[in-house]
Structure 1
Amino acid sequence: MMGYSMGWMWIWPFLIVFGLLVLGYLALRVTQTRPDGPATTRHPDRSRARRILDERFARGEIDEEEYRRRKGELP
Protein backbone atom coordinates (compact mmCIF):
# COMPACT_ATOMS: atom_id res chain seq x y z
CA MET A 1 0.00 0.00 0.00
CA MET A 2 2.77 2.49 0.85
CA GLY A 3 4.42 2.07 -2.54
CA TYR A 4 1.35 3.24 -4.43
CA SER A 5 0.81 6.47 -2.47
CA MET A 6 4.44 7.58 -2.89
CA GLY A 7 4.04 7.58 -6.67
CA TRP A 8 2.23 10.93 -6.61
CA MET A 9 4.44 12.68 -4.07
CA TRP A 10 6.80 13.95 -6.79
CA ILE A 11 4.11 16.26 -8.16
CA TRP A 12 4.14 18.67 -5.17
CA PRO A 13 7.69 19.99 -5.63
CA PHE A 14 6.98 20.30 -9.34
CA LEU A 15 3.79 22.30 -8.72
CA ILE A 16 5.57 24.58 -6.24
CA VAL A 17 8.42 25.31 -8.68
CA PHE A 18 5.96 25.81 -11.53
CA GLY A 19 3.87 28.19 -9.41
CA LEU A 20 6.94 30.22 -8.45
CA LEU A 21 7.94 30.48 -12.10
CA VAL A 22 4.47 31.71 -13.04
CA LEU A 23 4.49 34.27 -10.22
CA GLY A 24 7.94 35.45 -11.27
CA TYR A 25 6.81 35.84 -14.87
CA LEU A 26 3.72 37.80 -13.82
CA ALA A 27 5.79 40.05 -11.56
CA LEU A 28 8.17 40.74 -14.44
CA ARG A 29 5.30 41.59 -16.79
CA VAL A 30 3.70 43.95 -14.26
CA THR A 31 6.94 45.83 -13.62
CA GLN A 32 7.68 46.12 -17.35
CA THR A 33 4.30 47.68 -18.15
CA ARG A 34 4.32 50.07 -15.20
CA PRO A 35 5.09 53.72 -16.09
CA ASP A 36 8.49 54.99 -15.01
CA GLY A 37 7.36 58.07 -13.17
CA PRO A 38 4.30 59.95 -12.04
CA ALA A 39 1.66 60.73 -14.63
CA THR A 40 1.98 64.47 -14.08
CA THR A 41 5.09 66.57 -14.16
CA ARG A 42 6.38 68.57 -11.21
CA HIS A 43 5.44 71.84 -12.94
CA PRO A 44 2.26 71.26 -14.95
CA ASP A 45 1.99 74.98 -15.81
CA ARG A 46 5.46 74.94 -17.29
CA SER A 47 4.58 72.43 -19.99
CA ARG A 48 1.36 74.29 -20.80
CA ALA A 49 3.17 77.63 -20.97
CA ARG A 50 5.86 76.11 -23.18
CA ARG A 51 3.24 74.62 -25.46
CA ILE A 52 1.48 77.98 -25.83
CA LEU A 53 4.80 79.69 -26.52
CA ASP A 54 5.66 77.10 -29.17
CA GLU A 55 2.26 77.56 -30.81
CA ARG A 56 2.64 81.35 -30.91
CA PHE A 57 6.08 81.00 -32.49
CA ALA A 58 4.74 78.50 -35.03
CA ARG A 59 1.91 80.84 -36.00
CA GLY A 60 4.37 83.68 -36.47
CA GLU A 61 2.96 85.87 -33.68
CA ILE A 62 6.42 86.26 -32.14
CA ASP A 63 9.86 86.25 -33.72
CA GLU A 64 12.78 83.99 -32.83
CA GLU A 65 14.45 86.52 -30.54
CA GLU A 66 11.31 87.01 -28.45
CA TYR A 67 10.69 83.24 -28.45
CA ARG A 68 14.14 82.52 -27.03
CA ARG A 69 13.84 85.33 -24.45
CA ARG A 70 10.46 84.13 -23.20
CA LYS A 71 11.58 80.51 -23.22
CA GLY A 72 14.48 81.48 -20.96
CA GLU A 73 12.09 83.20 -18.55
CA LEU A 74 9.91 80.12 -18.04
CA PRO A 75 10.31 78.47 -14.62
Structure 2
Amino acid sequence: MMYWYGHGGWMWPWMVVGNLLFWIVIVVVAVLAYRAFTQRSGPPGSGHPGWGTAPSPPAPGHGPGAEQILGERYARGEIDEEEYQRRLATLRGKPPGPTES
Protein backbone atom coordinates (compact mmCIF):
# COMPACT_ATOMS: atom_id res chain seq x y z
CA MET A 1 0.00 0.00 0.00
CA MET A 2 1.16 3.47 -0.84
CA TYR A 3 1.79 6.07 1.88
CA TRP A 4 1.53 9.83 1.29
CA TYR A 5 4.09 11.83 3.24
CA GLY A 6 3.89 9.62 6.27
CA HIS A 7 0.09 9.87 6.78
CA GLY A 8 -0.67 6.26 6.03
CA GLY A 9 -3.34 4.85 3.73
CA TRP A 10 -6.31 6.39 5.55
CA MET A 11 -6.07 9.77 3.70
CA TRP A 12 -7.56 8.59 0.39
CA PRO A 13 -11.20 8.56 1.62
CA TRP A 14 -10.85 12.20 2.66
CA MET A 15 -9.46 13.06 -0.76
CA VAL A 16 -12.43 11.37 -2.44
CA VAL A 17 -14.91 13.19 -0.18
CA GLY A 18 -13.12 16.48 -0.80
CA ASN A 19 -13.25 16.01 -4.56
CA LEU A 20 -16.94 15.09 -4.46
CA LEU A 21 -17.79 18.14 -2.34
CA PHE A 22 -15.79 20.37 -4.68
CA TRP A 23 -17.66 19.16 -7.77
CA ILE A 24 -21.04 19.28 -6.02
CA VAL A 25 -20.43 22.91 -5.09
CA ILE A 26 -19.37 23.72 -8.67
CA VAL A 27 -22.51 22.09 -10.12
CA VAL A 28 -24.84 23.79 -7.61
CA VAL A 29 -23.31 27.21 -8.31
CA ALA A 30 -23.61 26.63 -12.07
CA VAL A 31 -27.28 25.60 -11.78
CA LEU A 32 -28.14 28.58 -9.58
CA ALA A 33 -26.36 30.97 -11.93
CA TYR A 34 -28.17 29.49 -14.93
CA ARG A 35 -31.55 29.82 -13.21
CA ALA A 36 -30.81 33.39 -12.13
CA PHE A 37 -29.91 34.47 -15.65
CA THR A 38 -32.75 32.68 -17.41
CA GLN A 39 -35.47 34.07 -15.13
CA ARG A 40 -34.56 37.63 -16.05
CA SER A 41 -34.83 38.45 -19.70
CA GLY A 42 -33.16 41.85 -19.78
CA PRO A 43 -30.91 44.27 -17.93
CA PRO A 44 -32.20 46.28 -14.97
CA GLY A 45 -34.47 49.10 -16.02
CA SER A 46 -35.39 47.49 -19.33
CA GLY A 47 -38.96 46.87 -18.22
CA HIS A 48 -38.67 43.11 -18.50
CA PRO A 49 -40.24 41.03 -15.73
CA GLY A 50 -37.91 39.94 -12.97
CA TRP A 51 -36.14 43.24 -12.40
CA GLY A 52 -38.54 44.81 -9.91
CA THR A 53 -40.80 46.50 -12.47
CA ALA A 54 -44.55 46.35 -12.33
CA PRO A 55 -46.10 43.80 -14.66
CA SER A 56 -47.90 45.15 -17.71
CA PRO A 57 -51.70 45.06 -17.64
CA PRO A 58 -53.32 42.05 -19.30
CA ALA A 59 -54.26 42.29 -22.95
CA PRO A 60 -57.90 43.08 -23.74
CA GLY A 61 -60.08 40.01 -23.57
CA HIS A 62 -58.01 38.44 -20.81
CA GLY A 63 -59.26 38.39 -17.26
CA PRO A 64 -62.72 39.20 -15.98
CA GLY A 65 -64.76 41.92 -17.61
CA ALA A 66 -66.51 44.76 -15.82
CA GLU A 67 -69.91 43.07 -16.02
CA GLN A 68 -68.50 39.85 -14.61
CA ILE A 69 -66.91 41.70 -11.69
CA LEU A 70 -70.16 43.54 -11.07
CA GLY A 71 -72.07 40.23 -11.12
CA GLU A 72 -69.61 38.72 -8.64
CA ARG A 73 -70.05 41.69 -6.28
CA TYR A 74 -73.83 41.29 -6.50
CA ALA A 75 -73.54 37.55 -5.83
CA ARG A 76 -71.38 38.17 -2.76
CA GLY A 77 -73.92 40.65 -1.43
CA GLU A 78 -71.61 43.67 -1.61
CA ILE A 79 -74.20 45.62 -3.60
CA ASP A 80 -77.99 45.36 -3.70
CA GLU A 81 -80.15 44.70 -6.76
CA GLU A 82 -80.94 48.35 -7.39
CA GLU A 83 -77.29 49.33 -7.43
CA TYR A 84 -76.47 46.30 -9.59
CA GLN A 85 -79.10 47.27 -12.19
CA ARG A 86 -78.00 50.92 -12.15
CA ARG A 87 -74.33 50.08 -12.65
CA LEU A 88 -75.09 47.44 -15.26
CA ALA A 89 -77.12 49.98 -17.25
CA THR A 90 -74.25 52.45 -16.99
CA LEU A 91 -71.78 49.86 -18.25
CA ARG A 92 -74.01 49.03 -21.19
CA GLY A 93 -74.46 52.71 -22.06
CA LYS A 94 -78.17 52.87 -21.26
CA PRO A 95 -79.70 55.51 -19.01
CA PRO A 96 -80.42 54.06 -15.58
CA GLY A 97 -84.02 53.40 -14.69
CA PRO A 98 -85.89 55.23 -11.95
CA THR A 99 -84.28 54.97 -8.56
CA GLU A 100 -85.93 54.92 -5.17
CA SER A 101 -84.46 57.56 -2.90
TM-score by length of 2: 0.34
Q: Which has the higher helix share?
A: 1
Look at both structures and tell me which one has the larger radius of gyration over its CA atoms. 2
Normalising to structure 1: TM-score of the pair? 0.44
